[in-house]
Amino acid sequence: MSTQVPVVLSESEKKKLFVEGRQTARWINEEIVKILETGGYDVSLLKKVADFKNKFYRSNRARYDQATLKEILLIPSEIIIDQLEKDYEVMTSMIYGEVIPLRTILEGLDKLLKEIRELEV
């Protein structure tokens, strides 16, 4: 059994990581909003990524055949959501700024999924 050594960061390093994480999260959110507002989905990209991963990063667990707009999954199954919520709760101390409840994030993903599934190919 290996022992993990905790990483000790200075306060300035922690702040830098928090700020960078927050900026990344803000950028991702802005990009998602742009996509939703403009309908700027590149539907061909999903197939390209699935084909690439199938060719170079094959995983027996992955279902590349389900990487379609009608079958893609963004939300974990109910079976693991309880554990996911526990993990998320433990990690909230690592989130800088406002902590968005996991259920709110999942609801947003569900809304995005519905919009994706309505897209025409």
Q: How many CB atoms lie within 10 A of CB 27?
A: 10
Whole-number pLDDT of residue 113: 84
Answer whether residue 4 shows pLDDT above 60: no
Quick one: pLDDT at residue 40? 64
Most confident of 19-23, 25-29, 53-57, 62-66: 53-57
pLDDT at 104: 87
Q: What is the pLDDT of residues 79-108, one digit of tens each?
A: 888 888 888 888 888 877 788 888 888 888
The alpha carbon of residue 11 and the mean position of all alpha carbons in its chain are separated, in whole angstroms, by 27
pTM equals 0.55
Q: How many CA within 13 A on the CB side of residue 27?
A: 6
